[in-house]
Amino acid sequence: MAKRRPFIDQHDAIHERVTRAKTGMKTGAKAAALAAALALIGVGACTAGADPLTGTGQTGGVPGQPDTGGSFSTGGDEGPSGSGGSTGGFAASTGGFAGTKATGGAGGTGGADSAATGGSCGTRAGMRGKTSRTLTVGSLKRTFIAYLPQTLSPSTPVPFVYVFHGANQSGQGLYDMTEYAKLADKEGIAVVFPDGQGTSSATGQGSLTPWNVSDGPASCGLGSLVSNPNAVDFAFVDAMRDDVGKDQCIDGKHIFATGFSMGGYFSHHIACDRPDFRAAAPHSGGTYGDLATCKTTHMPMIIFHGQADILIAPGCDDPTVAAQTGFPASATLWAKKNGCKDSYTTIPETMGQCLLYDGCPADGQVEMCTFPGLGHAWAGATTCANCIGAGTGYQSATQLQWDFFKKYAW
């Protein structure tokens, strides 16, 4: 019998420890189960205020509650979702989306190239470059970082990218990790780096459960244990786009989502249930065992996962490794959903490869990029706070996904 790789043995041991946490446990019990599991791989001590997905201590935030630690500079006016307001309809031509109004006000009609409120766009001054912002979404204060290149004409509609962080990370962490701001300057795009629930880029506060990543079905891997039950993140997504639309006209036909770890799970969730998005690029996450209930039709997808990831099973995404029980690889699921063949063409990349599925429709290409030596880290990242392993030297996931968006989702 061939000798198993050590990280596979470790991953199996982790899952053996946490299987009992999958049903009937509250957040605290799940955290304790995950803490015991992560002790097997030496990813730091997990306490009641620590993140079992990275093993790094938190600053005391309560999962699922709004950030209360420290002030957060808005760099300008508070967002558009104050009393009686609304996030309105999507900027995309798909129109409004039920259940996403931030404060219960009437939804706006929106337009393909305008702010989601349906009013004029790009009229607010003083919010170029990197800005830290605070919005009230429903009853919660939510924070995020926005980046708008100084060279953009505010009245010119531009593509819009959301970059979602993982557990015990922050928008600032993904700003540094992905270097999307540099890409924005080069390509002329608008980017936001949201803070999840109970998270603050300003104070460094992290959260075990930053995102609600499912509307019911279980997800593959450990991320299924720490989905935030507070389903308020889609409203936050709308509110950010509405707010940035005041500073910069947004091309509603080119809205994209990417994210790492729990942010990768959330990107899958968006791709399943948000038809206003044009494509998604989850990294080191997972999704449901069946996409039949998704609200979207075809959705271009480029998915990333390291084969040495000992935290979120590579098989949650990668069809070339062992699948998790009850969960086909997400690449296989998305290829089936989009109407692709089950075969693919292998494209070599630096320290890895991408599997480009054959026979996909023009609006539904699927690609899976996998890296044999990569752990739970962003491919190509020169800095990767609260990752397991390093992304240095690998083909840049940031560049790969933007190239994919331009080729297959335009």
Closest Cα to residue 185, out of 129, 124, 146, 252? 129
**CATH number of the structural domain spanning residue 379:** 3.40.50.1820
Q: Are residues 53 and 172 in the same domain?
A: no
233: helix, strand or coil: helix
Cα 176 from Cα 342, distance rounded (Å)? 36
Q: Are residues 40 and 175 in the same domain?
A: no
**In order along the chain (410 residues), what is the average pLDDT of each group of 10 residues?**
43 49 48 47 35 37 33 35 32 33 34 52 96 96 98 97 98 98 98 98 96 94 94 98 98 98 98 98 97 97 98 98 96 98 98 98 98 98 96 98 98
Residue ending a domain, among 18, 37, 57, is 57
**Domain annotation covers residue 116:** no
**Domain annotation covers residue 66:** no
**Domain annotation covers residue 277:** yes
Under 8 Å CB-to-CB from 306, ≥6 apart: which residues? 284, 314, 370, 371, 372, 373, 374, 375, 376, 377, 379, 389
Cα 154 from Cα 147, distance rounded (Å)? 13
Instruction: Report the Cα 307 to chain-centroid distance in Å.
Output: 19
Cα 372 from Cα 394, distance rounded (Å)? 10
Q: Are residues 141 and 254 in the same domain?
A: yes
Closest Cα to residue 83, out of 102, 98, 108, 67? 102
Give the Cβ contact number of residue 77 at 10 Å: 13
pLDDT computed for residue 31 by the predictor: 52
392: helix, strand or coil: coil
**Contact at 8 Å (CB) between 397 and 378?**
yes
Q: Are residues 18 and 159 in the same domain?
A: no
Q: In which domain, by residue range, is 186 found?
A: 129-408
Q: Are residues 21 and 150 in the same domain?
A: no
Q: Are residues 153 and 296 in the same domain?
A: yes
Q: What is the pLDDT of residues 297-330, one digit of tens each?
A: 999 999 999 999 999 999 999 999 999 999 999 9
* Degrees, nearest 5: CA angle 30-36-40: 135
Q: What is the pLDDT of residues 274-298, one digit of tens each?
A: 999 999 999 999 999 999 999 999 9
Looking at the structure of the chain, the number of domains it has is 2
Residue ending a domain, among 57, 72, 92, is 57
Cα 185 from Cα 165, distance rounded (Å)? 21
**Domain annotation covers residue 223:** yes
Q: Are residues 280 and 360 in the same domain?
A: yes
Cα 216 from Cα 220, distance rounded (Å)? 13
Query: Any idea what DSSP says for residue 360?
Result: -
**Domain annotation covers residue 387:** yes
Cα 246 from Cα 234, distance rounded (Å)? 19
**Domain annotation covers residue 118:** no
